[in-house]
């Protein structure tokens, strides 16, 4: 069934019999654990970030990503409130690994600030930035920043997100910048320069009477032609948009058919953008919750309560029930009485959405994903409630020691060569 689904179109069709000849190398990225469920001093959290980053940099992971959440009085989703700031911190401590935002929730930011800060970060790290963006999901948070970003008015917040991203990209591409949209206009009209020192006025930026008509926003990005853009989404429409513009997409792990329903339109559009046939899976990554235990039983016993708590919390956050179990059924699948009675752990594990087990189990799960639909970019995370930090470090050690060598990692040089091809 999976093979038939992959062959929906000719441009991205794959002969599954030839997959055994593919290189096994994967791009491995990482989202450091930020002690979900409990508020601890942030100096300690930053220390944990550095420890985890040190391990994955030594293992040749490509990018370490940092998420954005706010106002976590109960400790849940207590990620950094400013991923750009944390990327700056990590970028200053490490010289090889890339740093990424996953995401900057654009509707909650002023787009000119984002353009400046990401470009400055790119210069600080000498071009080691991956810029991930999304419109965000949390209604409670966003209203505190921008009334136009109310997630309960999804069409409006999507327009705000798209306009904000458009502004950021136009800032980077134009030394003479001006913009007028639904939400923003730059420069703000009717301001005139009165400082005689700047006369005669630069005609690119001022009218003869000093009126400010265009802006120079600095710095310019270090990377050329631009900083890689990544959208964070599980929506096929977002994948299609990203592919048409040459951007990447990172999604949360889901079932095979749902993954392919996103990858197929992306593959078609990125092929048109590049002007040659792209491979299915090129330009996209999947974020998996993982744990590598001493043995299968230890892994499942350790993580089962955490998975159950985490997904119960996620399921309660969406008013339309998008993240209940029904939202994780595969395309064409119906909920059986047996499935309905399963806890979250067994339900997700049966569908390959989580990767929890001993090293051999984890290798086999990723190998099947690679061989069935071409997975070659994995973003790993361990945001587990009430799992001791030392166990997460031990799991990461086992992942690096036993799982990563089986696949091998894509070097930075390989990724650059692929990008410039």
Contacts of 35 (CB under 8 A, 6+ apart): 45, 48, 75, 78, 389
The answer to whether residues 271 and 400 belong to one domain is yes
In b/e form, how buried is each residue of 49-65, taking b as 16+ CB within 10 angstroms? Answer: beebbebbbebbbbbbb
For residue 157, how far is the Cα from the chain centroid?
19
The answer to whether residues 38 and 148 belong to one domain is yes
Contacts 24+ apart (CB under 8 A), 202-208: 204/176, 205/176
For residue 367, how far is the Cα from the chain centroid?
22
The answer to whether residues 211 and 356 belong to one domain is no
The answer to whether residues 271 and 379 belong to one domain is yes
Instruction: Check: CB of residue 139 under 8 Å from CB of residue 145.
Output: no
The answer to whether residues 133 and 206 belong to one domain is no
Q: Rounded to two decimals, what is the model's pTM? A: 0.90
Confidence of residue 73 (pLDDT cuts 50, 70, 90): confident
At 248, is the secondary structure helix, strand, or coil?
A: strand
The answer to whether residues 2 and 112 belong to one domain is no
Confidence of residue 29 (pLDDT cuts 50, 70, 90): very high
Residue 11 pLDDT more than 80? no
What pLDDT score was predicted for residue 149? 83
Name the percent of the chain in helix, strand, coil, to the closest 5.
Answer: 45, 15, 40
Is residue 337 in some structural domain? Answer: yes
Other residues' Cβ atoms within 10 Å of the Cβ of residue 41: 8
What pLDDT score was predicted for residue 7? 37
Residue 19 pLDDT more than 90? no
The answer to whether residues 43 and 167 belong to one domain is yes
Is residue 133 in some structural domain? Answer: yes
CA 196, 198, 200, 203 torsion-angle sign: negative
CATH number for 142: 3.20.20.30
**Range with the poorest average pLDDT among 53-62, 210-219, 325-334, 350-359:** 325-334
pLDDT digits over 339-383, tens only?
Answer: 999 999 999 999 999 999 999 999 999 999 999 899 999 999 999
CA distance 134 to 125: 23
Nearest to 229 by CA among 336, 322, 312, 114: 114
Residue 407 pLDDT more than 50? yes
What pLDDT score was predicted for residue 3? 38
The structure tokens listed for 314 are 């996620």
At 131, is the secondary structure helix, strand, or coil?
A: strand
Contacts of 99 (CB under 8 A, 6+ apart): 63, 64, 65, 66, 87, 88, 90, 91, 121, 125, 128, 129, 130
Range of the domain at 386: 1-23+258-405
Is residue 240 in some structural domain? Answer: no
The answer to whether residues 201 and 155 belong to one domain is no
Tell me the pLDDT of the chain averaged across its residues. 89
pLDDT digits over 109-166, tens only?
Answer: 999 999 999 999 999 999 999 999 999 876 677 778 888 888 888 899 999 999 999 9
Is residue 376 in some structural domain? Answer: yes
What pLDDT score was predicted for residue 322? 58
Furthest-apart CA pair in the chain: how many Å? 78
Is residue 91 in some structural domain? Answer: yes
The answer to whether residues 189 and 223 belong to one domain is no
The answer to whether residues 279 and 383 belong to one domain is yes
The answer to whether residues 110 and 186 belong to one domain is no
What pLDDT score was predicted for residue 212? 98
CA angle 215, 218, 220 (to 5 degrees): 120
Range among 155-159, 284-288, 408-412 rated most confident = 284-288
Is residue 354 in some structural domain? Answer: yes
Residue 264 is inside which H or E element, if any? helix 256-274
What pLDDT score was predicted for residue 76? 64
pLDDT digits over 175-189, tens only?
Answer: 999 999 999 999 999
Is residue 415 in some structural domain? Answer: no
- C-alpha distances (whole Å) from 252 to each of 79, 221, 232 are 17, 28, 8
What pLDDT score was predicted for residue 77? 67
What pLDDT score was predicted for residue 377? 97
The answer to whether residues 323 and 182 belong to one domain is no
Other residues' Cβ atoms within 10 Å of the Cβ of residue 151: 19
The total of structural domains in the chain comes to 3
User: What crossing angle do the helices spanning 83-93 and 42-58 adopt, rounded to 10°?
Assistant: 50
Is residue 248 in some structural domain? Answer: no
């Amino acid at each position: 069934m999976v093979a038939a689904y992959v062959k929906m179109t000719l441009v991205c069709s794959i002969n599954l019999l030839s997959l055994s000849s593919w290189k096994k190398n994967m791009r491995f990225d990482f989202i450091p654990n930020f002690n979900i469920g409990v508020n601890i001093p942030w100096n300690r959290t930053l220390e944990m970030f550095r420890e985890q980053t040190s391990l994955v940099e030594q293992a040749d992971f490509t990018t370490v990503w940092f998420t954005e959440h706010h106002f976590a009085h109960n400790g849940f989703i207590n990620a950094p409130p400013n991923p750009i700031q944390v990327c700056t911190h990590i970028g200053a401590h490490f010289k090889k690994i890339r740093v990424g935002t996953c995401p900057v929730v654009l509707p909650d930011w002023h787009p000119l600030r984002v353009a400046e800060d990401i470009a400055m970060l790119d210069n600080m790290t000498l071009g080691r930035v991956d810029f991930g963006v999304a419109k965000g999901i949390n209604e409670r948070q966003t209203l505190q920043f921008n009334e136009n970003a109310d997630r309960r008015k999804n069409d409006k917040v999507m327009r705000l997100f798209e306009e904000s991203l458009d502004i950021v990209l136009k800032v980077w591409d134009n030394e003479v910048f001006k913009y007028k949209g639904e939400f923003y206009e730059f420069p703000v009209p009717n301001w005139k320069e009165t400082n005689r020192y700047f006369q005669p006025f630069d005609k690119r930026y001022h009218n003869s009477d000093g009126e400010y008509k265009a802006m120079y926003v600095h710095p310019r990005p270090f990377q050329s032609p631009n900083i890689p853009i990544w959208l964070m989404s599980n929506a096929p429409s977002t994948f299609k948009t990203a592919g048409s513009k040459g951007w990447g997409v990172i999604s949360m792990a889901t079932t095979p058919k749902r993954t392919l329903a996103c990858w197929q339109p992306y593959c078609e559009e990125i092929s048109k953008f590049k002007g040659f046939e792209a491979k299915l899976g090129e330009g996209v990554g999947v974020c998996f919750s993982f744990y590598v235990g001493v043995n299968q039983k230890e892994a499942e016993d350790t993580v089962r309560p955490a998975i159950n708590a985490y997904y119960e919390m996620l399921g309660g956050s969406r008013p339309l029930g998008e993240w209940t179990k029904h939202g994780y059924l595969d395309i064409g699948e119906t909920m059986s009485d047996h499935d309905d009675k399963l806890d979250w752990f067994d339900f997700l594990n049966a569908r390959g959405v989580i990767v929890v087990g001993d090293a051999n189990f984890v290798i086999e799960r990723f190998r099947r994903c690679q061989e069935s639909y071409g997975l070659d970019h994995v973003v790993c995370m361990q945001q587990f409630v009430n799992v001791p930090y030392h166990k997460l470090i031990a799991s990461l050690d086992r992942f690096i020691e036993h799982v990563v060598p089986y696949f091998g990692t894509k070097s930075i040089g390989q990724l650059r060569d692929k990008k410039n091809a």
